[in-house]
Chains A and B, each alone.
Chain A
Amino acid sequence: MRHGRRRITWSGTALVLGAVTAGCALVTYLPQDQGLDTPVVVEGVPGETLDLTYAELTVTDVRVADTLEGTTETAVAGGTFLVVDVTWRATRTQTTFAGAEVTDSQGRRFWPSALGDCAASATSQPGYAWRATYCFDVPEDALAGATVRLARGSQSEEHAEQRRDAVAVVDLGITAGAARTLWDAAETVRPEPQGFAVPGAGDAATGDASTGDASTGDAGGDA
């Protein structure tokens, strides 16, 4: 054996491997930056104005539709379109609201379809109320208990853009009984293109008045 040099032993090797394994386990299983990544969730219901700091948001109406009639195209749902009318009011600066997602009671996530004048995102100037309609193609079993999550950060990449930011989660108030009625109702909705909201116009300004009650596809409030 040469002087001044140490042999690599099995116990030494095991010690190093054990230390590396323990380090990996700590990194993998201990919560990492959970407090920093979690968004600030502001919960509400349709008709309630929610303060997201960077904007005020109101879900003004919730409907369902088999068909969307836009100015340039007509879209037919694979399931049914859950039509969510909202009003955004940016409070600080021009803001793009890129996040729109429905989550059902099973945890499945649904993104909006930019079809028939429905919006996938919206941009508004501060101080003005901006109206937009989001349309989500969902299966029947997604209606009951569905919530909509709206924010300025996109929902893609596992909500990465919504970390440490305010997001609105609105319970659409659809019960199991109402879900069946809504699914069976064959409705055509003509979403208005997004634009400035008329003050005091309320729900009637957000869509087809013919679908404004529960018997004809209105899922908001009554449901």
Chain B
Amino acid sequence: MKHARSDGPDLAFRIGRRVVAAVADDMSTAQRVGVGVVGALVALTPFGAWSPAQAQTAPLVTGTAVEVGPFEVTVEKAAVADDLGLLVPEPGNQMLAVVASVTNTGEVPEYSVTLGDTMPAPRGVGIVPEEPFGEPAAETGGEADLPSPTIVNIADGTSRSILNPGVTYRLAFIWEQSGDFAGETVPLELIDLGWVEEDLAGLDDGHWYVGEAAFSGDVPVGQAGPGTEAGQQ
């Protein structure tokens, strides 16, 4: 007597096994080995089979220009202030600004959002986590998500959404910081950007993707003068 059977996943498995068996039966041993190796490499690709080994970050030295993606960045210093013009922290907090000269070395304009991706908020120095839409700070693997910097042109205090090629700006990368911070340095990382000419799905060709930390170092923190505007670091 035959028992009723579910034809769902079991049927798919049996069909798949028959297809594989039918193809493999007609292959020589060398062909089977070749197909197996190619299949293994394809399967491992999403897990970084082609990625280089985790590289050490190069030292980030103030006053020394480094290249990250389309930008040449020279970090000058960091400073804290009770407020920076229109950027006013919550009571008890302060504003932390990293000052850097930035040049777009490419041939097309770049968005300042892309520049912001290269300089994540320094960790462990009391940067106030972002709270999207008024919700409590999201936790990612035990660490809170830190906000992207507010980028201000120091010469005039304006925000520049576009950075044109060949033009150098002295910019302040600004975060709100806990007033309890009293360190003399902040650990800073610069993230490399990679260019994607053709997206695999063909839906997002020509964009920068955020890579790994390329440079890291401790940046000395000074005190901005009283009444400092965002454009007067």
Contact = CB atoms under 8 A, between A and B. Distances in A.
Interface of A: 5-8, 10, 13, 73-79, 106-115, 136-139, 141-142, 157-158
B98 to A, nearest CB: 18
Interface in B149-163: 153, 155-156, 158, 160-162
A77 B31 CA distance: 64
What are the 4 closest A-B residue pairs judged by CB atoms, nearest first?
A: A139-B166, A78-B167, A76-B155, A76-B156
14 contacts: A8-B27, A8-B31, A13-B31, A74-B156, A76-B153, A78-B153, A78-B155, A78-B167, A79-B164, A108-B107, A109-B165, A110-B165, A111-B109, A113-B162
Interface string B168-187: 11000000000000000000
A137 B164 contact: yes
Tell me what chain A mostly uses at the interface: helix, strand, loop, or mixed. Answer: mixed
B206 interface: yes
B162 A141 contact: no
B166 A79 contact: yes
A108 B153 contact: no
Contacts of A142: 166
A76 B169 CA distance: 10
B26 interface: yes
Contacts of B156: 73-76
A8 B164 CA distance: 56
B71 to A, nearest CB: 13
Given A8-B31, A73-B156, 5 more contacts: A73-B158, A75-B156, A78-B155, A109-B165, A139-B165
Interface string B98-134: 0000000001110000000000000000000000000
Contacts of A114: 161
Interface in B189-233: 206
Given A76-B155, A110-B109, A8 B167 contact: no
A114 B161 CA distance: 9
A138 B162 CA distance: 12
Nearest to B34: A13
A31 B170 CA distance: 43
A110 B108 CA distance: 7
Given A5-B26, A78-B168, A109 B158 contact: no
A138 B27 contact: no
B167 A113 contact: no
Contact of A141 (B27, B107, B161, B166): B166
A114 B109 CA distance: 14
A102 to B, nearest CB: 9
A141 to B, nearest CB: 7
A78 B26 contact: no
A74 B109 CA distance: 22
B167 A79 contact: yes
Nearest to B162: A111
A157 B108 CA distance: 11
B109 A8 contact: no
Nearest to A113: B162
A78 B165 contact: no
A75 B109 CA distance: 18
A181 B173 CA distance: 34
A111 B26 contact: no
Nearest to A101: B109
Nearest to B169: A78
A165 B160 CA distance: 30
Contacts of A75: 156, 158
Contacts of A115: 158
B68 to A, nearest CB: 18
A113 B162 CA distance: 7
Contacts of A77: 167
